[in-house]
Each structure stands twice: as structure tokens, then as C-alpha cells.
Amino acid sequence: MTTSTHLMRRKRFLPLMVTQFFNAFNDNLYKTALVLFVVYTVYNDEQQEALFSGLASVIFIVPFVTLSALAGQLADTRDKAAIIRVVKICEIGWATLGAVGLFMAWQGIAVDTVAIPLLLFVVFLAAAQSTFLGPIKYAILPQHLKKEEVLPGTGLIEAGTYIAILAGTILAGFIAVEVAMVLIVLTAIVGYLISRQVPEAPPQSDYQMHYPLLEPYAKKVGNPVMRWLGYPAVAVADQALMSWRLVRDTMHNREIFLAIIAISFFWTIGAVLFIQFPPLAKNQLLASKEVASLFLVIFSIGIAIGSVGINALLKGEVSAKYSPASVIVMGLFVAGFYFVAKAWVPNAAGQLLPIEQWILEPLAIPLSLMLLGISTAGGFFVVPLYAFLTTRCEHDAASRTIAANNIVNSLAMVVGSLIAIGMTSLGIPVVEQLLLAAAMSVISAWLGLLLYRAEKDAAAERERCLPSEFVK
């Protein structure tokens, strides 16, 4: 029996993986249904569509920047399983609001003034819920799994997450919006019920939060009126201070620092690509929303393949030795995707092709294979880097390390999204923006190389410091 099969049969792992699966499924079902509905039904202009897709991405990222520090602190000082259950209850709330917004947009009720702002607000709430779950899904693994099980467990969580993204994205593209609004609520309820089976995971130290965020605000602002006005400002300032300290305290380990930077740059590339897919499918390829959904599906399949494949290649070892080559290959596939998309000849009728007709186009298969190559190489690159975060930090700081990673990742993705929005505002066609993602892969390879060198230096230092009888 393989380690992965063994883990899938254990209560100490399976409920966590299934809970995360439904969380990622629901996030992507809602967000993809929203973006595809607006791009294909509400707007009819490439620039507006790309701007909306970028705006939704930025809003989704903001909570990871503003709340990750608090999420990491809570996860390291409270029972992680209890936090999972609380955030899954919150998911039922945002799913209900999202269903209301989708219903209003579907029925044409105050679409621009109420429905779309409400839908974007729910994007923020969904991201906030995922922010609090994010540090836990990796940090709980060393607490419930044996040392040799952590990398396979990380790979399974990552693969399961992208299979969930795949499932949610498929459904969002192929089901009617009225079905989506019911399904997101049902999924939230099922996810909460499964989360109740996650074993307890109490804090592993007496670490206490020493940041000012949880201090009474009344002590900070004396005047009652100014206290009311100053509450949001003080909260934001405290959270920013907590985030800065969390990132600063995590970065003292060079391996962790470089892993976080490399992961962040990878997801910057991913953010640029994800923003481009819906308007690219509609305007460059003249394809239906099912094809736009297919692009996201192929991307998710590739990440899942890469997540499992790199674990088999490394045989349980946590190492970045394949990361530089992997991301260079990814960049070459991005360039190939660009050239195939540029060579695409739209159908003579000028109509949006359904998926069963689009797939018969001469360049459809090459384009799909390029996209699969991008994401598979990306999975090979990024999964070992996540394992670095939980295996190279102190055992009682895993949640804070993941939270710091989320903060830096999110800031990088915001920058990438804003760059994509800026290029769209300047009138640069969406297809031409693919070249930016290809060029950024070179920088990711350099970061991966620096991490591998730091890994070898750290291993040599550990060997030097061991007593001679322990050195093989």
C-alpha cells in the first residue's frame, strides 16, 4: 500500500482533505459562474470584460493580504479543527448572499447598482473565509501525520484542491446560473457537516499573540465620536502592523524566504493567465463560455498532475532541485500558447462556437496541450515549495509561516492583476499579455535556483554541525 493510499484511509487526514475539497469547489463554482455570467451575458466589450475579470481577481485577493496574519495567529494559538468548523459555518452565510446576488442578476433586477456590487462583495467574503482556512490545511499536516507522510499529504491536499477547482469550474461553465445559486448553498452545508469529523488539533505551544490588534480599542481612542470614527482605521493599522511583523519574523530562514518569494512569483503568473482566459476565449477564439471553463479545467488538471508527479519523482524528499527546470518549461509552453492563439483563424460566421464545435477546430488540440503543459510544469515547480514552508519552520509556527506566505503571495498577485488591468486599459490586446507571463517565468527559474542553492547550503551546514557518529 502506498503512503498516499494509506493516508486516504485515515480519519486523521481524509476529513481534512474532503473539507478542503468542498471549500475549493464552492469558491471556484461561485467565482467562475459569476465571471462567466457577467463576461458572456452582461458586457459585450473585450476591455470591459477584461477589467471586470481583473477586478474580481483583485477583490478575491485582498482578504489574503489583510487577514492572513490574524488567520495564522489564531491557527497557532487555537484548536485548528475548531477554527475549521467556524469558518465552514461562515461559508453557509456567504453562499446564501451569493445565491441572492446571482438570482437578482439572472432576473435583471438592479444589475449594475445592486446585483453586481453584491456579487463582488460576496467574492470578498468567500476569500476571507478561505484566508482563515488556508494556513490550517497545510499547518495541521505535521500535527496529524508522520514526518515521512508530510510531503505525500501536501501533494494530496494540493492535488485534491485542483481537482475541486476543476469540478467547480466545469460545473460553472456547463450549468445554468439558477442551478449554480442552489448548488453553492448545498455545498456549503455539506462541507460544514464533513468538517465536524476533522480530529482535534490543539495549539502546540503556549505562544501568545503579542500584537495590538486584539487589545480594546477604547484604550486607543479616548473621545467617543473619534472612537467610532477611528475604529476602522485602528483596526486596519493594527492588521497592517501584524502582517508586517509576521512576514518579517518568518523571513529569517533563507530557505523559507526564498520559497515564499518563488511561490509568490509563480502565482503572479497564474493571476495574469486566469484574468486573460475568459476574454481571450470569447474575443480571440470566438468560443462559448464552456470553452472558457474548459481552459480553467485544463489548467487545474495540469496542476493536479504536476502535484502528484513531483512527489513520485522526489520519492518523499522535500527538495527544490527540479523547480528551476520546471518553470523554464512552463515559460516555453506559455510562449507556445501565445503563438498558437495568434495563429487562430476565427470561424467564418463570426459566432461563438459551442465546445463540441470548437474542439474540432484545427488548432484546438495544440492550444489545449500547450495549456496542459503550462499547468503541469507549474505543479512540478510549486508543490515542493509548499512543503518547504511546513518542514523548514519551527513545529509551532507552521500556521504563521503559511499565513506569511499567503500575505506575500496575495500582494504579488495583486501587483500582477493590476499590471494586467493596466495593460488592458492601455489598449494592449489580451493575447499579447501572454508574453508577460512567459517572460516572468525566467525570473521564477532564477528564484528556484537560489532556493536550491540555499537548500544545499543548509544541508551542508546541518551535516557539519552533527556529531561525527551521525554523519553517513
For the segment 389-416, the average pLDDT, to the nearest whole number, is 74
Q: How many Å apart are CA 70 and CA 53, to the nearest integer?
A: 28
Q: What pLDDT does 457 receive?
A: 83
Q: What share of the chain is helix, strand, coil (3-state, %, to 5)?
A: 80, 0, 20
Q: Select from 294, 268, 270, 267 the least CA-distant residue to 281.
A: 294
At 36-74, the pLDDT tens digits run 888 787 776 667 777 777 788 788 878 877 777 677 777
Query: Phi first, then psi: what are they for 314, rounded to 5°?
Result: -85, -15
pLDDT in tens, 135-180: 777 677 777 676 666 667 777 777 788 778 778 877 888 888 889 9
Taking residues 110-139, what's their average pLDDT? 85
End-to-end Cα, the chain, rounded Å: 29
Q: List, for residues 86-112, the tens digit of each pLDDT value.
A: 889 999 999 999 999 989 988 888 877
* Residues 163, 83: Cα–Cα separation, whole Å: 24
Give 92's Cβ-side CA count (13 Å radius): 11
Would you state the pLDDT for residue 221?
43
Residues in contact with 36: Cβ distance below 8 Å, sequence separation at least 6, in sequence order: 172, 173, 278, 289, 292, 293
Three-state SS letters, 444-467:
HHHHHHHHHHHHHHHHHHHHHHCC
pLDDT above 70 for 83: yes
* Nearest to 142, CA basis, from 73, 212, 204, 67: 204
- Quick one: residue 315, left, alpha or beta (phi over 0 = left, psi -120 to 50 = alpha)? left
Q: How far is CA 222 from CA 214, 232, 240, in A?
A: 17, 15, 22
68: CB partners within 8 A, 6+ apart? 131, 134, 135, 243, 246, 403, 404, 406, 407, 410
pTM of the model: 0.67
Q: Is the pLDDT of residue 345 over 70?
A: yes
pLDDT tens, position by position, 364-376: 999 999 999 998 9
Task: State which of 199-208, 218-227, 421-430 shows the largest mean pLDDT.
Answer: 421-430
